Amino acid sequence: MSKKIILTGFEPFGGSDVNPSILACQSFSKKSIGGYEIKAIEIPLHYKEIKQNIESILIKEKPEIVICTGQSPRSVISLERIAINIASLEKTAYSCGTKPMDEILDISGREGYFSTLPIRKIKDCLEENKIPCEISNSAGTFGCNQIFYHLMQFINNNEINILAGFIHVPSLPEQVISKNIPSMTLELIIRALEIAIKTTIEHLHEDK
């Protein structure tokens, strides 16, 4: 059985017909890097379905590495450090129309879970390749933080020995026309994700 990497991205939301996170992930679909088969999966931005979706993926696919991605209004690739146990929105709603306010994701869950991706190594490699990036200490309180939280919660609760975490990517140039929002080309986002994958594989082999 081949080793596997799962990449997830979200469906378009907020009136846009594209989402750079899933577009970048899909560029790797059915490809192989370093002996790892890559599978990209689109996650619907439906509040009550995200937990079940990510848990089902982990149970079915049994990957060695999981990198979830999502879109943000930031100007750089954001390597998220921690997911927190809350969902709270003031402006944008989930695609299903849900708009939680100060809602705990899991009443019995921890306050937060940390990424196990080698985010410092990934940041260094991205910077070496002239790609703007950061280590972020807040994944927000929307769907991106939610999938990140449930991903790490399931891994921790079931003592699964894999590397996993979340990466935010900027909007695409075509999404920000007439808006005062930064953007990044899809080609550069794909390159950043490729570096993150390769760096994580190298880190995994070093640990073993």
Distance CA 34, CA 57 (A): 22
- 80 classed as catalytic: yes
CB 185 within 8 A of CB 173: yes
Per-residue DSSP letter, 49: T
Q: In what order do the strands lie in the sheet with 77-80?
A: 32-33, 36-43, 3-10, 65-71, 163-169, 77-80, 133-136
Q: Which of 25, 68, 80, 125 is catalytic?
A: 80
- 150 classed as catalytic: no
Query: β-strand 133-136 against 3-10: which pairing, if any?
Result: unpaired
Q: Which of 68, 125, 144, 150 is catalytic?
A: 144
Per-residue DSSP letter, 64: S
Q: Which of 25, 68, 133, 168 is catalytic?
A: 168
The Cβ-side half-sphere exposure at 149, using a 13 Å CA radius, reads 26
Written as one letter, the residue type at 87 is: A
Q: Catalytic residue positions?
A: 80, 144, 168
